[in-house]
Amino acid sequence: MTHVAQGDRKNEAPSQGGQNQASQTRLKVCSDRECNLWASTDLETIQPENPDDQPEDILLEVKAYRRLSPDYYLWLKARFEKFQAAVGNSNPADENAAAFIRRFETLRAVAQTHYSLADLKRAKERLAVSPLSSPNQLVRQVQTPKTIPVNIQKLTRPAFLYPPDSDLNFDASIHRFTTPVTAYALEQVNTIRDDALLCGWSESELYQNRGRFRFPYGQDYGIACFIDPGQKLGDVTPDKIELICRGGHSLYFRRRGQEHLPGNKPNNTQTSQEAIRP
């Protein structure tokens, strides 16, 4: 497991009033029940050192993790059920879907070990009064500059890089090329981020703007690289993400390696449903 230093407390999103009180309530339940696991919305987990000194939300690179309180477990469970409904119409042998299901079963076992039915009932009551927001709001605050006008967001030198240079699994000598990503494009991807991760998409498929070949060639670039001002992201499925153009017609960004699978052929009754990738 990855360990997080206490210094990462500076990444905690500011909270006020009732939000801060609700967060402290959840953290106290975690501490009392000795549940020291943090989980992201794609169900990856970390176990920080000195867990009771950590904030409820922790940001590592471009991924946010939240301590697994009963409230957050129920929030994840509701989204997992939505994911199961989406995958039910997809390929049941999909490796990403199978891995996602295994990760949720691990979280379910942790929650069942640490929390009682009474804990979950009280959490459900708290959620009815004050629903949780996604921990990925922390990522949006860091990644999306709100002050840059749309008409000047094309960058001459990429300020946003994914994967970042600090990613130990990234080799900049192989992925030598970069392409600019606008703040508007990041905002659009951030709006569908949670749903896409639930459907098995990876963060690199959403955000990556570094490739082995010049953009738009190759399969390395994420959907953020293909969004122009005025275009919006729509429906998300395990196989494709809808890109709604200014004229109202739709293009579809398809999963890497799945562009030509029979199950991914576009429906001829809809308009301009072609893959975005070249």
In a domain, 270, yes or no: no
For 267, list phi and psi in degrees, rounded to 5: -80, 120
pLDDT at 258: 60
Assigned domain for 161 exists: yes
Low-confidence ranges of the chain (pLDDT < 50): 1-15, 143-157, 260-275, 277-278
Q: Is the pTM of this model over 0.85?
A: no
> Same structural domain for residues 159 and 105?
no
Confirm whether 26 is domain-assigned. Answer: yes
* Count: domains in the chain: 2
CA distance 67 to 54: 9
User: What is the pLDDT, as a whole number, of residue 259?
Assistant: 54
Does residue 249 sit in the same domain as residue 165?
Answer: yes
Residues 61 and 170 in one domain: no
| Domain edge (last residue) among 80, 101, 129 | 129
The confidence score (pLDDT) of residue 12 equals 43
Q: Is the peptide bond before 163 cis (omega within 30 degrees of 0)?
A: yes
pLDDT of residue 270: 36
Is the sign of the CA dihedral 117, 122, 128, 133 positive or negative?
negative
Residues 175, 108: Cα–Cα separation, whole Å = 38
For 83, the domain range is 6-129
pLDDT at 91: 56
> In this predicted model, what pLDDT tens digit does every residue of 64-89 receive, in sequence order?
899 999 999 999 999 888 887 776 65
Looking at the fold, whether 93 and 178 belong to one and the same domain comes out as no
The contacts of residue 162 (CB under 8 Å, 6+ apart) are 62, 203, 204, 207, 208, 209, 210, 222, 224
